[in-house]
Amino acid sequence: MRTPHQILGPFFPLGSNPATQGDLTIVEGTDGRAQGEIVEVTGHVLNLRGKPVRGAKLTIWQANTFGRYVHPNDSNPAPLDPNFVGFGIIRTGNDGAYRIKTVKPGPYPMGADWMRAPHIHFEVQGQFERLITQMYFPGEPLNACDRLLMSVPEPSLLIAKSIPQPHDHRRLLEFDIVLARG
C-alpha cells in the first residue's frame, strides 16, 4: 500500500544548513553531539510494484529530544540543543535504500489537550511524485491518541518497525516509504 500523506507541519526548517550525510547527531563546526537516544532509521523508497526508486530526494526534519524544533515560530519552552539542527537532505541509492542517524524526538504540546507523539517528518521527491509523511516510533503510548497518526486509514503504515540489535546500544528502526508511481 502507498504510504499515507501527512501534513507538512508548522515547523519546516528555515535558515538551517541541512546535514547531507544522513547524520543528524552532529552539527558541522561544533564539537559536541546531539543529546538524547541515538536511533538509526533505514528503509527503502519503493513504488507500488515493489521496485526501488533510485535517487529519490528525502528531506527530513524533526524536534530535538526535548520536543522542540529549531524554528523561530516554535513557542515550546523546552530547551534547544546547540548540537542538533534536526534537518537533513539525502538521496536514495540505486536500490532505493536510505539511512539516517538521529536522536529520538521528544513529544510536544499542540494545545491544552493534545501531545504529539514522537515523529520524524519526511518529504520524498521521487521521479514522478512528491509525498509528505511522518514516521512514528513503535511502542509509543502517545501513538494511540495522536490525532494526525489516527487520522489515516492504516496507522500501522506510519509506524517504523524495530530491528533487533543484540550487541549495540543504538536503536535500529526500519521504515519503508511506498510511492504510487515512484
Mean pLDDT of the chain: 94
- Hey, where are the domains in the chain? 38-179
pLDDT digits (tens, 9 = 90+) for 129-145: 999 999 999 999 999 99
Residue 117, CA distances (Å) to 16, 33, 57, 142, 171 in order? 24, 24, 25, 5, 18
**For residues 120 and 63, what is the distance between their CA atoms, to the nearest angstrom?**
8
- 136 flagged as catalytic: no
- 71 flagged as catalytic: no
Q: In angstroms, how far is CA 68 from the centroid of its own chain? A: 14
181 grid coordinates: 508511481
- 169 flagged as catalytic: no
pLDDT digits (tens, 9 = 90+) for 76-127: 999 999 999 899 999 999 999 999 999 999 999 998 899 999 999 999 999 9
Q: Which of 44, 68, 71, 116 is catalytic?
A: 116
- The structure's pTM equals 0.95
- 98 flagged as catalytic: no
Check if the beta carbon of residue 6 is closer than 8 Å to that of residue 158: yes
The CATH H-level (homologous superfamily) assignment of domain 38-179 is: Aromatic compound dioxygenase (2.60.130.10)
